[in-house]
Structure 1
Amino acid sequence: MELFQLVPLILLSFYLLSNNVPQASAQRSTYIVHMDKSFMPKAFSSHHYWYSSMLQSVKSVAQTSLEPKLVYTYDNAFHGFTAVMSKNELQALKRSPGFLSAYADDVVTPDTTHSYKFLSLNTATGLWPASQYGKDVIIGVIDSGIWPESPSFKDDGMTEIPARWKGICQSGEEFNSSLCNKKLIGARYFNEGVRAAIPGVTITMNSARDESGHGTHVASTAVGNYVDGVSFFGYESDALAGIDQAVADGVDILSISLSYRRRDLYENPIAIAGFGAREKGILVSVSAGNRGPSFATLLEGIPWAFVVASGTVDRWFSGTLTLGNSKTITGWTMFPARAVVRNLNLVYNETLSACNSTELLAEAPDQSIIVCNLTDKNTSLFFLWSDLSRSNARVAIIISEDTSILRSTSFPYPGVVITPSEARDVVNYASNSDTPIASITFQETILGLEPRAAPALSGSSSRGPARSYPGILKPDIMAPGVLILAAYNPYTSTARIDNNIFLSSDYTLLSGTSMACPHISGIAALLKAAHPDWSPAAIQSAMMTTANPRDNTGKPIKDTEFNYRVATPLGIGSGQVDPNRALDPGLVYDANVQDYVNLVCSMNFTPEQTRTIIRSSYNCSNPSSDLNYPSFIALYEVQENRTTLTRKFKRTVTNVGNGAATYKVKVDKPKGSTITISPETLVFRKKNEKQSYSLTIRYRSNNEFVINDGSITWIEENGQHTVRSPIVVTPGVSDD
């Protein structure tokens, strides 16, 4: 169970819809409109009345009895509103003073224990005690809701609610204000966007209560209280309203495990609202998405957000296969019961092992263990379960290299999954024994180095470069995100046996960057408590420069999807988060809001698109794409005629150590590149002193698709600090 014990939580809930839900009619749609508030006439007492007046002024162009409807107004993370209107009304609205941009509302999708021990968090030393377990830091979770009765949200041992808290515990269907406490300090729900988009839609739970289980799982991962003995046997305007309200309510960390399909930053609600949150000193942690493993599948590469990739943990849910010759093999299984499989006949032949039809499986002997070889076959495990349940076999040994099986809890039929190399012993024994038999034990858990090193990059985790802005290396960091145990809706099915026995649980195992993101949110809360004077950029930098690019065997982190080859920073960012090292990083790369403004101003947006993000309180007098960031990326185009390219970066680091310190640089250059650092030594006379350096990378474009990576590390002389930044040389993102 995750443990960020004294961190208060506010849950901002919205109604999740699947992508195939019909949206508004062709005549009227729901639009998110961004405004420049500096244009608001003094005659209006609030932005709400100004926006209402604007909608009234355009209603005559619609030539219909229907009037435009104001759904939400926003004034904290950004300025603007959501409204239902016709295209003609929108065109008229665009001529209004202060109008910046508008886009249609869209569907939002979720990017969907032992991990705190895997991250080396403990009660004796390190980040937990140093932060007083996150005392008084508030995390806002934007998700599908919460199941407040879960033991993960009990407030045993919690301190008083921070005095700066401005939020409420909103009552609703099956949810009253008494369900909040000193752990769950607030809850609000937002569904007006979906109501406006789909008039007459049935809201099955009109409150902050979580029906899908996703929000409960994410929230308990980020800030869940300790629970002993647990085990496992929308629409974007609504999410946007939640973010805007969280900023107003006074959160310190925003945890957003959601994805939008919009590529452009000026039309991405998380990017726009996240900028406003960062402006107010709030760290925004977002999930990278689950579109991997292909190149450039990361859509939301928001430079001012902490983008989190998903990795495995050193926990293996297993069943032990024992052959009649006493040979044992540890297989993978999530079958949710202790099935009796003792000395059953083991059946193997090449024809039957295809297991690709009900007719074929009907030939399996009664009460047998059948071997199914899914290697290089088109047989889907999903259909195999159904076919096996109608066969005479009692158990299946499944030969597969599909790593997605290791992320799924769906295992409705007794069996184990083994690799082709492990299968050789099984096939040899079954083929050469007169009466082959086997036994299997279930519901086993293995921790440690075997059978696979951890962490490893999840195959589903989205990969960079980011399509929204490839000039900053994304994702930033990796955290546990595969089969994470956390609280869930107890009335939602979490597993099944056969085709018609559905099981529920108070806690469940889920996989995805949705599960990785709240780990980073929780660690950020602990760092904020330990270092209340650090900016969001400093907290992010501390985690990135101390992240570990190696697994628990000391070797580079592998990629589960590509035969466990070495992962690149386009998948893992700086590496696996190391909370205790982040407490004392030595140096940090800091950045203020003006630095992010300068970055946005360099992105070749129109003035209106730029102001949609940065608003009118900043100007573009000093545009710069060289953000003071703890990582480096150099892009090239794949072309026949290779050319030499040069990219120069300037960085400034702040000494957050205890006093004077000297650092020397160590360079691990990407293959085929030359790296020059100037100066190569940084001397700090006191704490909080800043020093700058330049990094110049000379590299060549390539005539084929090649990704090379390296790093620079500032190493403290006669000290304990090492400050590492990854470097990637990669092809750029195509426009398709």
Structure 2
Amino acid sequence: MTPAEFDSARDDDGHGTHTSTTAAGNAGVQATIAGGDLGIVSGIAPRAYVIAYKACGAEGCFGSDTAAAVEQAILDGVDVINYSISGGGDPYNDATSIAFLNAYFNGVLVSASAGNSGPGADTVAHREPWTITVGASTQDRTFAGKLSLSDEGGATLELDGVSLTGDYTGQVVLASDYGDGLCLTPFPAGTFNGEIVVCERGLIARVEKGYNVLQGGAGGMVLYNPVLQSLAPDIHFLPAIHIQNDAGAALLDFLANATGAVTGTIDGGIKMASQGNVMAAFSSRGGAGQTLGVSKPDVTAPGVEILAGHTPMPSSIAGGAPGNLFQVIQGTSMSSPHVAGSALLLKDLHPDWTPGQIKSALMTTAYVDGLVKEDGVTPVDNFDAGSGHIDLNRAGNPGLTISDSALNLYLAEDHLWDANLPSLYVPNMPGKITVERTVHSELRANSWWRTRVEAPADLSVSVRPVIGVRAGGDRTFSITVDASLVPMGETRFATLYLERGP
């Protein structure tokens, strides 16, 4: 721990406040940042009880502490644990992951963040089959900003970005002209005189860059992505706008060819619609290197530009300007509590459901239609988003659930494709394989389910055409996968639909 942080569960970072209020914050709360009205917010499960545990410090987490916090949460009788922390890459040999297994055994679902190391393959965290691992995707709202530029010769340029801070006009200069294009350290006082300073993103927190130029006398900041990355409207110490890599290239070109000085105006905090259901570039992905026989992430949920609570007393510069009770941040840390709150609602609706049943309901009712990769166009695959984006309108009534016991999941370490999970992943396909799944009816009447498979031409998935399940009963069926025509080293994806008949 550092001297500036609290030694209790009181939040001095903002991360815990944001995640807990996302999962269970009150409904109908007016959110403001730096005096600006950002609208009404609500947690996913308003008024649910929240217990916060001090398991980590500013310098990181010890596995013994996080495991102890999980054990205490079990003793305290919680229904769901949100774990917006990375880890779980080797779950059968990790103390915290085994603590999550104990939570699962005791009826507690753990929602865990997939990690922020995407979009490369095999970067996903929390590969435990007994957790629900959550990727991050966009929602359809953004806090936009606009940068307007003009030079002394009359040339103009307008660029779009994101911003929460107020408007500002000043001369635009490059931080690189002052020896630090990445704005990594505080500039000496008097370096600037109210200019808008252009910084390249990277290496340190975005908010720290704004703080560093402010120390040198800047009046505003433009932060540009050097490559395609997500945009984030942070709580900066001065008026600032964050722009994409193509806008950054246009800005640098304009400055390089300008006639005389360039004047810029930042307009920020404009709430407007944006493209939702886009996987965040940072969201960690699964891949063919997952060896345990379960593929992650399991689902995706909103994790970009999430408006929720903040501590008014951040202990570091990266926490942003003090005094704010709300913040807008991004990460799979933000998507995980959306699922945790959703699990709370399902537990309230179905008190007898096990963690596996809750996980199954969220996975089997998720959607992929309209869900795209970070380029905003290409449809996702299962390594991006698992079963898809959670859908609470459907998750409360899935009809069937697929779940397994903690013991079986533990014993199936080397062949999890045989575990009764609501997904199937075989890392080393022998050509043809047959597995079984057992569904449990959540209905009060007997039901018939038609099966339908979507698969590429060189992959065959065979399931009996109709499955009958008695009310409240179980039914086991076989799934045969024939990948003998798939070239070595390639991966294929398929989807099995169970659609209730009359």
Q: TM-score range with shorter-chain normalisation?
A: 0.7 to 0.9
Structure 1 residues 327 and 315, CA gap change in structure 2 (3 angstroms): farther
Residue 711 of structure 1: aligned partner: 495
Structure 1 residues 469 and 211, CA gap change in structure 2 (3 angstroms): farther
- Contact map agreement 2:205 2:318 (CA 8 A) in 1: no
Instruction: Provide Cα deviations, 1:639-686, integer angstroms capped at 9, x if missing partner.
Output: xxxxx7223221122222342332222211146322222x111233x4
- Structure 2 residue corresponding to 1:283, chosen from 96, 104, 109: 109
- Say which SS state the counterpart of residue 298 (structure 1) adopts: coil
- Structure 2 residue corresponding to 1:474, chosen from 279, 296, 313: 296
Q: Give 1:703 shift.
A: 7.0
- 1:692-707 equivalences in 2 (<5 Å): 692-699=476-483, 706-707=490-491
Are positions 1:331 and 2:117 aligned together? no
Separation of aligned partners in 2, 1:716 and 1:401: 49
Residue 680 of structure 1: aligned partner: 465
TM-score by length of 1: 0.54
- Structure 2 residue corresponding to 1:592, chosen from 390, 399, 405: 405
Structure 1: gaps of 5 or more residues:
1-16, 19-201, 604-623, 638-643, 719-736
Residue 356 of structure 1: aligned partner: 176
- Say which SS state the counterpart of residue 505 (structure 1) adopts: coil
- 1:266-277 equivalences in 2 (<5 Å): 266-277=92-103
Are positions 1:650 and 2:411 aligned together? no
Separation of aligned partners in 2, 1:626 and 1:575: 22
- Structure 2 residue corresponding to 1:231, chosen from 16, 32, 43: 32
TM-score by length of 2: 0.77
- Contact map agreement 1:231 1:485 (CA 8 A) in 2: no
Q: Give 1:528 shift.
A: 0.9
Residue 259 of structure 1: aligned partner: 86
Q: Give 1:423 shift.
A: 7.2
Instruction: Provide Cα deviations, 1:517-559, integer angstroms capped at 9, x if missing partner.
Output: 2211111111111111222211111110111113xxxx3x223
Instruction: Provide Cα deviations, 1:428-467, integer angstroms capped at 9, x if missing partner.
Output: 99979999976542211213xx3xx212222222222497
Instruction: Provide Cα deviations, 1:382-431, integer angstroms capped at 9, x if missing partner.
Output: 89768966999966666646444514626555445255379769979997
- Structure 2 residue corresponding to 1:514, chosen from 333, 353, 373: 333
Number of aligned residue pairs: give it: 464
Instruction: Provide Cα deviations, 1:50-95, integer angstroms capped at 9, x if missing partner.
Output: xxxxxxxxxxxxxxxxxxxxxxxxxxxxxxxxxxxxxxxxxxxxxx
Structure 1 residues 387 and 505, CA gap change in structure 2 (3 angstroms): closer
Structure 1 residues 495 and 476, CA gap change in structure 2 (3 angstroms): same
Amino acid at match of 1:242: A
Structure 1 residues 558 and 207, CA gap change in structure 2 (3 angstroms): same
- Structure 2 residue corresponding to 1:303, chosen from 129, 144, 154: 129
Structure 2: gaps of 5 or more residues:
35-60, 182-190
- Structure 2 residue corresponding to 1:245, chosen from 72, 77, 102: 72
Residue 464 of structure 1: aligned partner: 286
Separation of aligned partners in 2, 1:211 and 1:360: 30
Amino acid at match of 2:103: A
| Percent pairwise identity | 26
Residue 50 of structure 2: aligned partner: none
Separation of aligned partners in 1, 2:452 and 2:431: 23
Structure 1 residues 404 and 242, CA gap change in structure 2 (3 angstroms): same
Residue 42 of structure 2: aligned partner: none
Amino acid at match of 1:650: E
Residue 579 of structure 1: aligned partner: 392
- Contact map agreement 1:301 1:466 (CA 8 A) in 2: no
Amino acid at match of 1:687: A
Are positions 1:558 and 2:383 aligned together? no
- Contact map agreement 1:493 1:502 (CA 8 A) in 2: no
Separation of aligned partners in 2, 1:301 and 1:275: 12
Amino acid at match of 1:340: Y
- Contact map agreement 1:389 1:413 (CA 8 A) in 2: no
Which structure: larger Rg? Answer: 1
Structure 1 residues 367 and 583, CA gap change in structure 2 (3 angstroms): same
Separation of aligned partners in 2, 1:225 and 1:299: 30
Residue 209 of structure 1: aligned partner: 10
Q: Give 1:506 shift.
A: 1.5
Separation of aligned partners in 2, 1:290 and 1:470: 21
Residue 539 of structure 1: aligned partner: 358
Structure 1 residues 594 and 272, CA gap change in structure 2 (3 angstroms): closer
Residue 632 of structure 1: aligned partner: 424
Structure 1 residues 705 and 367, CA gap change in structure 2 (3 angstroms): farther
Instruction: Provide Cα deviations, 1:552-583, integer angstroms capped at 9, x if missing partner.
Output: xxx3x2232x6764332122111111112101
- Structure 1 residue corresponding to 2:453, chosen from 646, 663, 667: 667
RMSD: 4.3
Separation of aligned partners in 2, 1:687 and 1:526: 23
Structure 1 residues 430 and 286, CA gap change in structure 2 (3 angstroms): closer
Structure 1 residues 588 and 326, CA gap change in structure 2 (3 angstroms): farther
Q: Give 1:484 shift.
A: 2.1
- Contact map agreement 2:418 2:436 (CA 8 A) in 1: yes
- Contact map agreement 1:358 1:387 (CA 8 A) in 2: no
Separation of aligned partners in 2, 1:393 and 1:671: 59
Separation of aligned partners in 2, 1:494 and 1:390: 15
Q: Give 1:270 shift.
A: 2.5
Structure 1 residues 661 and 420, CA gap change in structure 2 (3 angstroms): same
Instruction: Provide Cα deviations, 1:157-201, integer angstroms capped at 9, x if missing partner.
Output: xxxxxxxxxxxxxxxxxxxxxxxxxxxxxxxxxxxxxxxxxxxxx
- Say which SS state the counterpart of residue 412 (structure 2) adopts: helix
